[in-house]
Amino acid sequence: MATSTKKSPENGQSSAASVPASPVSGNRIVTLDEFIIRAEKDFDYATGELTGLLRDIGVAAKIINREVNKAGLVNIIGVANSGENQSGEMQQKLDVYANEKLIECLKNSGECCAIASEENEDIIQVPPIGSKASNYVVMFDPLDGSSNIDVNVSVGTIFAIYRRKSDPSGPATKEDFLQAGTKQVAAGYVLYGTSTLLVYTTGRGVNGFTLDPSIGEFCLSHRNMRIPENGSTYSVNQGYYSKFDLEMRRYIDNCSDQNYGLRYIGSMVSDIHRILIQGGIFLYPSTRKYPKGKLRLLYECNPLSFIVEQAGGKAMNTQLKRVLEVTPSELHQRSTVAIGSPAMVDELKAFIERYSALPL
């Protein structure tokens, strides 16, 4: 049984990737709600807000899951009328639906004071319910890999929770969102795959919950997830090979020389989930089209880096900086990224150091 260390909410992260001592009892079913309520008791200063937020996200995930599962039966696949989102990318109908449901669930409870979404240009204020001012902000990618929906391939929802920096008596500000990933209090993802899985961390290890459709509950299924130290697959859009920098091309050549398998779903959350379970490395380096990388620091790279690190993995950008230590300057900032088994990220780092023309 893992140990638990009491912490203040400011100190959401620790290097000890352990399951809180209390949540799991024998072999009986432990629901997500039960797990987070018990885990909350390990925080000295817990107010229940974080617990409420995680529960809100769990509810939104079930609603999104219901709609994702019937895509094809009802008229919900395909491009939305809105056309493009703020990043100039095609918005799918389910992107819009998932975004609306998450915002609605979070607004209903008033457990956060503001929201930032990949699908919205600006932050969204959440009016307090009664006199209660919330201390948290939430950011998310409502549907990751959404171009896969029409072809029945797994998609996901990614989220991150931070404590606000601004005075709780006033509105939240952009600065509340422009915090380094190390300040995340919680992060997680929901994978709408062969089964629906919610994986999250509050900085004390990573746990996964599978949705049991017969009872409509997420049940603990992946306890204290640990990423393998090494892997035998790499995950990158190799179609862009000729657009990658030299060091990245040399690294990919090496993967091929070593007979690593190539696995790329095109849905980051699905690729990262596989890597978390089986080991491997996920890469999205700079290309000519996306010189700073394609993936969004706040909505994709930070939460997934936090989870992978908490499971014992590593996450850096191709400038060799730890992703979680980058201070963002824009809500929709993009980042290059390399995430995965620690030995594979270290191997890539050695290649970049060796072949990069950049002063290091």
Binding footprint of Mn ion on the chain (CB under 5 A): 118, 141, 143-144
Shortest distance, CB of residue 231 to ligand AHG, whole angstroms? 17
Shortest distance, CB of residue 301 to Mn ion, whole angstroms? 10
Instruction: Give the residues lining the site for ligand AHG (CB under 6 A).
Output: 89, 118, 141, 144-147, 237, 266-268, 294
Cα angle 143, 66, 25; round to 5: 95
> Residue 267 binds which one of ligand AHG, Mn ion, none, with CB within 5 to 8 A depending on kind?
ligand AHG
> Residue 4 binds which one of Mn ion, ligand AHG, none, with CB within 5 to 8 A depending on kind?
none
**Choice between 48 and 266, CB closer to ligand AHG:** 266
- Closest alpha carbon to 268 in 285, 250, 282, 254: 282
Cβ neighbors of 133 (< 8 A, separation 6 or more) are: 113, 168, 169
**End-to-end Cα distance, the chain:** 43
**Choice between 209 and 299, CB closer to ligand AHG:** 299
**Long-range CB contacts (within 8 A, 24+) of 96-100:** 97/64, 97/67, 98/60, 98/64, 98/67, 98/142, 98/143, 98/157, 99/142, 99/143
- Closest alpha carbon to 45 in 189, 169, 163: 163
Residue nearest to Mn ion (CB): 144
Q: Which secondary structure element, helix H or strand E, spans residue 157, and what is its range? A: strand 155-163
3-state secondary structure of 274: helix
**Choice between 49 and 141, CB closer to Mn ion:** 141
**Choice between 51 and 267, CB closer to ligand AHG:** 267
Alpha-carbon distance of 125 to 173, in angstroms, equals 9
Residue 229's identity, in one-letter code, is E
Helix, strand, coil distribution of the chain in percent, nearest 5:
35, 25, 40
Residue 41's identity, in one-letter code, is K
3-state secondary structure of 350: helix
**Choice between 52 and 193, CB closer to Mn ion:** 193
Shortest distance, CB of residue 95 to Mn ion, whole angstroms? 6
Shortest distance, CB of residue 266 to Mn ion, whole angstroms? 10
Shortest distance, CB of residue 216 to ligand AHG, whole angstroms? 26
> Residue 89 binds which one of ligand AHG, Mn ion, none, with CB within 5 to 8 A depending on kind?
ligand AHG
Q: Do residues 317 and 212 touch, judged by C-beta distance below 8 A? A: no
Shortest distance, CB of residue 237 to ligand AHG, whole angstroms? 3
**Choice between 147 and 254, CB closer to ligand AHG:** 147
> Residue 294 binds which one of ligand AHG, Mn ion, none, with CB within 5 to 8 A depending on kind?
ligand AHG
> Residue 279 binds which one of Mn ion, ligand AHG, none, with CB within 5 to 8 A depending on kind?
none
Shortest distance, CB of residue 334 to ligand AHG, whole angstroms? 11
Q: Do residues 190 and 176 touch, judged by C-beta distance below 8 A? A: no
**Choice between 49 and 95, CB closer to Mn ion:** 95
